[in-house]
Chains A and B, each alone.
Chain A
Amino acid sequence: MKKMNWMAILIYVLTMTFMVGLTHAADTIKLGASYGMSGRIGWIGGDCVEGAKLIIDEVNAKGGIKGKKIELVEYDTKNEPDTARTVIEKLIKKDEVVGILGPVTTTEVQTVTPVVEKNKIPFVVVSGGIEINEKILPEYKKEGKKSYMWALSVGTERQNEVKVLWLKKKGYKNLGNIEPLDQMGDLSQLTYKAWCKKYGLNVVAEERFDNKGTDFVTQMSKIKAANADSIGSMCSGAPAVTLVKNRDQVGMKNVPFMLSDANLSKRFIELLGENTANVYTVAAKIEFVSYLKDSDPQKKVITDFQKKFKEKYNKEPKSWFFAAVGYDSALMFIKAIEAVGIDGEKMRDWLEKQTKFEGAQAFYSWSNLDHRGIGVDQCSVMGIQGDKWVPVD
Chain B
Amino acid sequence: METLSLYLQFAMAGLTMGTIYAMVGIGFSFIYRVTTVLNFAQGEFLMLGGMVAITMTSIFGSPLPVALVIGILTVTFTGMLFHLGAIRVLGKAEPVRMILITIAGSMFLQGVAFLIWGTDDYTMPSFVKVGTVTLFGAAINSQVFPVIFAAILITFILKIFFDKTIWGKATTACAESREASMLLGINVSRMGMLSFAMSAGIGAIGGILITPICMMQYQKGVPLAIKGIAGAVVGGLGNIWGAMLGGLIMGLAEALSAGVIASYFTDVVVFIILILVLFMKPEGLLGRRR
Residues of A at under 8 Å CB distance from B? 40, 181, 207-210, 212-215, 217-219, 221-222, 224-225, 237-238, 241-242, 245, 248-251, 267, 271, 273
Contacts and interface: CB of A to CB of B under 8 A. Distances in A.
A248 B132 contact: yes
B21 to A, nearest CB: 9
A248 B217 CA distance: 23
B215 A215 contact: no
Number of chain B interface residues as a range: 35 or more
Given A213-B17, A214-B17, 7 more contacts: A208-B263, A215-B17, A215-B213, A217-B9, A217-B255, A237-B121, A249-B139
A255 B9 CA distance: 19
B141 A249 contact: yes
B131 to A, nearest CB: 8
B238 to A, nearest CB: 25
B135 to A, nearest CB: 12
Residue from A217, A224, A238, A242 whose CB has the most chain B CB atoms within 10 Å: A217
A207 to B, nearest CB: 6
Interface string B216-238: 01000001100000000000000
B123 A218 contact: no
Secondary structure of the B contact surface, majority rule:
helix
A237 B217 CA distance: 11
A242 B217 CA distance: 13
Contacts, number: 84
A208 B263 CA distance: 6
A264 B210 CA distance: 26
A161 B133 CA distance: 36
A273 B258 contact: no
A218 B258 contact: yes
A210 B14 CA distance: 15
20 contacts: A181-B263, A208-B262, A208-B263, A208-B264, A210-B263, A212-B223, A214-B214, A215-B141, A215-B214, A218-B14, A218-B259, A219-B258, A221-B1, A221-B9, A224-B1, A251-B132, A251-B139, A271-B121, A271-B215, A273-B123
Interface string B240-282: 0000000000000001101100111011000000000000000
A238 B132 contact: no
